[in-house]
């Protein structure tokens, strides 16, 4: 069955008359094409101008896109040079079978053809559509490009009578034989094609013919496909191609569509398009040389005639169905050739497209619904061709673009919404203003100017098509200058319509994929600038960043270049960097995951690249506090992780292997270093390097590294430090534990600043008290460190005093850092303590004397001494017991092998003596070991033995230290035990006995240290002698009592 006719248009009679052995059909009467068409259509006039034997006078020259006299040689049917008329006017039938004329309908040149659409025409085509109030100035004032005029003295066609039934039967029979047989030789092929064409002319008045052709359409399509495939793609030596085009043209005018409607027909269209456009470039099918040999002229004529037949075939398809969706089908087959790498193929395709667009602009049917979905793609292709390095291609593309703008204006007028009439009016006004700025002849040869005009008419979907087309073309552009054109088109469109795009992720994806194949530096920068424009728009920022982050890290050199060379307007730099930073911050807010999110690693590497490029320097300074803290937190999260601990999206690395040296931690460290350097924190960077700060940040000493960096900023960049402190005040308790720890660690170091006094109590002491009660030792350390920094401010000590119970409890912790921090705080508060608190604290400190951790040992004695000095005279009795109990430990530790501890012990011992109003013997301050000076030891022991009688059990206390892990202390304690036995209270010694002392000393006789064994044996001897002396005194006392009784 024939395809349904659209819009009720009457069939067009194809007027081809040739002499052959078969009778030829002539239409009963020519049909008029379209509204108000003349009796003889322009298509017929155009065909006669190609093939008539009459001389056509040359046309007056008009302004055109093409150079020189090319207008007079164009394939569209202009006047030709008289020297070429005899050959060029010969049709295919004339060359083979005789001299009859062939007339093929085509588009009219009498259309308005320019951008100055007339309102009356638009109103005609829009009947039944949405009505918008426009005036003539809305559209018709757009500058006009001078149009070609057609000569009026064209000869009419001589029409023949219709074929009789017998002739029709013979045609059908001959065609059937071919459909069921095989064609051999060019004459037989030509005969078949001409028979089919002749038979098509009988369709209007012979139903059997129409039924036959429609019933055998599939077989006809197959035969034509075979004929096309049999033609050589390397040369043009026969008329078969041309006759195929002519036959398809004739059939299309009788509603027999051989190129659309099924897969086989689409394949045929592709075959015939390839067969003509892909011919080698031995000669141009659209230009003839002026002086050549007859053989060359004949070859060129064959090329010309064949190409013209193809062009006319396409135009006839448009005339028969002048709807945009039908044109879209034609464009689909021409499109690949418009983007061909071969110059001659692009030239041919562009010439054809220009003629098709011109024809469409004359016969365009815009009845709704409209289904042309590739306007943006078509505009992009034509704009690229307008910048083609081949002059002929650029000229043809310029003409085609002119008609495309004409079509676009009419399309947008008819499709605009009733409510958007005002917007269209403004758009047309903008278009008119831009066109008035340019010279029209030069306008269409300047691609970026074309974009500026078309952009106002393209919707968001069409803009996306334009961008994607330009980007897709970058992968196969044959000339560097076309790459340059593509770059200019891209950046121009994005600047003009940057807020109206929809498929931004796809655009960014193609850009990233194309960067590696773009070789021109200027074009690469234009492509990157396109990304910059998108990312600087708040509407697209997150979309663009998210897509850029979905690439393997470390980024390859192309993507790294993109990050480093982002050119964002100054007003948008902070916004872009903030959104990138915010993506990393969100990764730190939730609870710790089993694996780190890939986004965190990707953002960290992106921050490094952006900071390396230094294009967003102003934003880096402005966001320095947030950047630094976020990167430090990322370092904390990354400690000990490898890329196997990162949740990498499937397929991201494909077969690419991740280098073993690549870890999340290395990205975070290098980004932090780069941030310091780019914000001129050179001295802070140096401090970190000299003190091993980067190493500390990478390991268990992360907090120490944070403390070091915070202190460096306090010393060298106080403004940055203050900004960070105020940033952390409201945010410090957010996020997971690692987030809180790093933030808190940095915050407490900044409490040294005088600015800390301005902080409300809620954000200082109250917050620190909360951390003191945390289960985590790290939080307790941070809290004590913060209190230590705050206590430096005298006006804040009263607030800190309320935390004394928590601080004193910290002295009993097992963590050395906690104890030391507590001691440092108490040293600042000791003068504010009452006697009861002092007594409690001193008792706790006594338990720390002799701690194996030397700092704990020394500073506990220091605090003990400070406590003695802080005791008021009236309250001495409350701490006297603690002072007396400290005498022996301090005396013994004055012999410690650590000079600092020994010195501190003697200093505090002196304070104790002053407190007790004692005058210590000079021997106490002897720095030499006491065991080598027995006389001095005796005087010391005698002094303390006599002073402590009735106050403390000095012998018992000394014996306790005989088991001290330090040899000097054990040795001194054992020495003192032996000597003190002579100065202690004998009655007490008698009551307790000496066995418990002797047992401990006997154990020391097995000590591996010879000196200790000797001193222990001497002490044991002295103890035993004191014990024996006590027993002798008891015996003598008994005898004296007995003798007294006898005497009595």
Residue 417, pLDDT score: 59
Tallying the residues shown for the chain, one arrives at: 1048
For 106, list phi and psi in degrees, rounded to 5: -150, -175
DSSP state of 161: P
Q: Is the pLDDT of residue 921 over 80?
A: yes
Q: Is the pLDDT of residue 327 over 90?
A: no
Q: 995: pLDDT confidence band, cut at 50, 70 and 90?
A: confident
* Contact indicator for 203, 251 with CB cutoff of 8 Å: no
Q: Is the pLDDT of residue 668 over 90?
A: yes
Write the pLDDT tens digit of every residue in 182-229: 777 778 788 888 888 888 788 777 777 777 887 888 888 888 888 888
Residue 735, pLDDT score: 80
Residue 1031, pLDDT score: 54
Instruction: Let me know if 145 is exposed, middle or buried by CB neighbors in 10 A (0-12, 13-18, 19+).
Output: buried
Place of tokens 């106490």: 924
Q: What is the pTM of this model?
A: 0.72
* Contact indicator for 228, 272 with CB cutoff of 8 Å: yes
Q: Is the pLDDT of residue 545 over 80?
A: yes
Write the pLDDT tens digit of every residue in 550-591: 999 899 899 999 999 988 888 888 999 999 999 999 988 877
Write the pLDDT tens digit of every residue in 632-665: 999 999 999 999 899 888 888 876 777 778 899 9
* Contact indicator for 762, 769 with CB cutoff of 8 Å: no
Q: Is the pLDDT of residue 945 over 70?
A: yes
Q: 113: pLDDT confidence band, cut at 50, 70 and 90?
A: very low
What string of DSSP letters covers 298-335?
Answer: HHHHHHHHHHHHHHHHHHHHHHHS-BHHHHHHHHHHHH
Residue 32, pLDDT score: 30
Joined together, the tokens standing for residue 992 give: 């307790």
Rounded Cα distance, 919 and 935, in Å: 19
**Peptide bond before residue 369 is cis, with ω within 30 degrees of 0:** yes
Residue 910, pLDDT score: 92
> Which residues lie closer than 8 Å to 288 by C-beta, 6 or more apart?
73, 84, 88, 297, 300, 301, 304
Joined together, the tokens standing for residue 561 give: 């270049």
Write the pLDDT tens digit of every residue in 889-903: 998 898 888 889 999
What is the distance between the terminal CA atoms of the chain, rounded to a whole angstrom? Answer: 165
């Amino acid at each position: 069955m024939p395809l349904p006719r659209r819009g009720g248009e009457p069939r067009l009679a194809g007027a081809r008359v040739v002499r052959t052995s078969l009778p030829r059909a002539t239409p009963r009467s020519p049909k008029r094409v379209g509204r108000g068409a003349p009796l003889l259509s322009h298509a017929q006039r155009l065909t006669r101008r190609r093939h008539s034997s009459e001389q056509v006078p040359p046309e007056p020259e008009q302004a055109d896109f093409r150079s020189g006299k090319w207008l007079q040689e164009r394939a569209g049917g202009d006047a030709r040079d008289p020297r070429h008329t005899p050959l060029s006017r010969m049709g295919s039938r004339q060359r083979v079978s005789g001299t009859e004329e062939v007339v093929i309908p085509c588009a009219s040149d009498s259309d308005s053809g320019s951008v100055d659409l007339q309102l009356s025409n638009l109103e005609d085509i829009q009947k039944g559509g949405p009505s918008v109030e426009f005036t003539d100035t809305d559209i018709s004032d757009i500058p006009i490009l001078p149009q070609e005029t057609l000569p009026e003295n064209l000869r009419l066609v001589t029409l023949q009578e219709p074929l009789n039934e017998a002739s029709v039967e013979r045609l059908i029979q001959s065609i059937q034989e071919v459909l069921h047989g095989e064609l051999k030789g060019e004459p037989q092929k030509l005969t078949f094609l001409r028979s089919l064409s002749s038979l098509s002319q009988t369709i209007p008045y012979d139903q059997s013919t129409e039924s036959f052709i429609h019933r055998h359409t599939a077989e006809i399509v197959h035969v034509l496909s075979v004929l096309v495939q049999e033609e050589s793609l390397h040369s043009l030596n026969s008329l078969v191609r041309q006759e195929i085009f002519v036959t398809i043209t004739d059939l299309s005018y009788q509603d027999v569509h051989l190129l659309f409607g099924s897969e086989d027909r689409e394949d045929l269209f592709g075959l015939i398009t390839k067969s003509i456009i892909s011919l080698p470039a031995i000669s141009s099918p659209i230009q003839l040389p002026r002086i050549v040999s007859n053989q060359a002229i004949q070859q060129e004529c064959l090329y010309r005639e064949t190409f013209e037949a193809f062009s006319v075939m396409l135009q006839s398809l448009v005339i028969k169905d002048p709807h945009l969706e039908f044109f879209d089908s034609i464009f689909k087959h021409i499109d690949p050739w418009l983007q061909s790498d071969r110059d001659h193929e692009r030239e041919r395709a562009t010439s054809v497209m220009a003629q098709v667009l011109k024809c469409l602009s004359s016969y365009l049917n815009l009845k709704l619904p409209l289904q042309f979905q590739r306007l943006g793609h078509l505009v992009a292709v034509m704009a690229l061709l307008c910048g083609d390095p081949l002059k002929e291609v650029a000229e043809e593309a310029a003409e085609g673009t002119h008609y495309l703008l004409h079509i676009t204006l009419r399309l947008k007028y008819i499709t605009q919404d009733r409510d958007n009439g005002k917007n269209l009016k403004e758009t047309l006004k903008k278009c008119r203003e831009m066109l008035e700025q340019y010279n029209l002849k030069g306008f269409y040869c300047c691609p970026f100017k074309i974009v500026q005009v078309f952009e106002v008419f393209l919707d968001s979907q069409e803009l996306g098509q334009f961008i994607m087309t330009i980007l897709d073309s970058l992968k196969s552009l044959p000339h560097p200058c076309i790459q340059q054109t593509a770059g200019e088109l891209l950046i121009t469109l994005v600047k003009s319509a940057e807020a109206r795009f929809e498929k931004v992720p796809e655009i960014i994806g193609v850009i990233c994929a194309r960067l590696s194949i773009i070789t021109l530096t200027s074009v690469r920068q234009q492509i990157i600038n396109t990304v910059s424009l998108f990312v600087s728009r708040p509407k697209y920022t997150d979309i663009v960043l998210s897509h850029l982050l979905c690439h393997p890290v470390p980024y390859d050199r192309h993507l790294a270049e993109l990050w480093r060379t982002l050119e964002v307007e100054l007003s948008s730099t902070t916004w872009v960097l903030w959104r990138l930073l915010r993506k990393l911050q969100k990764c730190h807010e939730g609870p710790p995951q089993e694996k780190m999110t890939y986004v965190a690693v990707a953002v960290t590497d992106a921050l490094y690249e952006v900071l390396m490029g230094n294009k967003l320097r102003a934003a880096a300074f402005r966001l320095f506090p947030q950047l630094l803290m976020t990167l430090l937190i990322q370092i904390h999260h990354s400690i000990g992780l490898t890329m196997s601990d990162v949740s990498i999206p499937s397929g991201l690395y494909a077969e690419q292997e991740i280098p073993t040296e690549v870890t999340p931690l290395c990205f975070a460290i290098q980004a932090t270093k780069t941030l310091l350097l780019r914000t001129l924190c050179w001295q802070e960077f140096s401090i970190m390097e000299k003190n091993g700060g980067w190493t500390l940040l990478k390991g268990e000493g992360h907090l120490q590294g944070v403390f070091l960096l915070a202190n460096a900023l306090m010393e060298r960049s106080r403004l940055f430090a203050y900004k960070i402190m105020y940033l952390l005040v409201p945010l410090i308790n957010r996020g997971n534990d690692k987030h809180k720890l790093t933030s808190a660690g940095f915050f407490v170091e900044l409490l040294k600043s005088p600015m800390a006094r301005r902080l409300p109590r809620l954000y200082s002491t109250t917050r620190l008290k909360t951390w003191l009660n945390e289960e985590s030792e790290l939080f307790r350390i941070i809290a004590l460190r913060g209190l230590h920094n705050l206590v430096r401010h005298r006006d804040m000590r009263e607030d800190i005093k309320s935390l004394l119970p928590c601080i004193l409890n910290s002295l009993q912790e097992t963590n050395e850092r906690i104890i030391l921090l507590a001691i440092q705080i108490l040293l600042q508060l000791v003068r504010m303590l009452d006697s009861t608190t002092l007594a409690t604290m001193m008792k706790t400190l006594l338990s720390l004397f002799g701690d194996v951790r030397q700092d704990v040992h020394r500073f506990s004695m220091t605090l003990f001494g400070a406590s003695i000095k802080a005791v008021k005279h009236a309250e001495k009795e409350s701490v006297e017991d603690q002072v007396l109990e400290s005498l022996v430990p301090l005396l013994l530790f004055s012999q410690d092998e650590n000079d600092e501890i020994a010195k501190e012990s003697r200093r505090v011992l002196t304070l104790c003596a002053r407190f007790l109003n004692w005058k210590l013997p000079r021997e106490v301050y002897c720095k030499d070991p006491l065991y080598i000076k027995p006389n001095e030891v005796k005087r010391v022991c005698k002094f303390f033995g006599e002073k402590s009688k009735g106050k403390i059990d000095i012998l018992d206390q000394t014996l306790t230290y005989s088991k001290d892990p330090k040899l000097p202390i054990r040795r001194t304690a054992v020495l003192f035990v032996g000597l003190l036995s002579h100065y202690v209270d004998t009655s007490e010694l008698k009551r307790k006995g000496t066995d418990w002392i002797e047992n401990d000393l006997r154990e020391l006789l097995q000590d591996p240290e010879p000196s200790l064994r000797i001193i222990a044996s001497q002490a044991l001897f002295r103890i035993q002698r004191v014990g024996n002396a006590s027993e002798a005194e008891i015996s003598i006392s008994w005898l004296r009592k007995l003798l007294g009784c006898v005497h009595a």
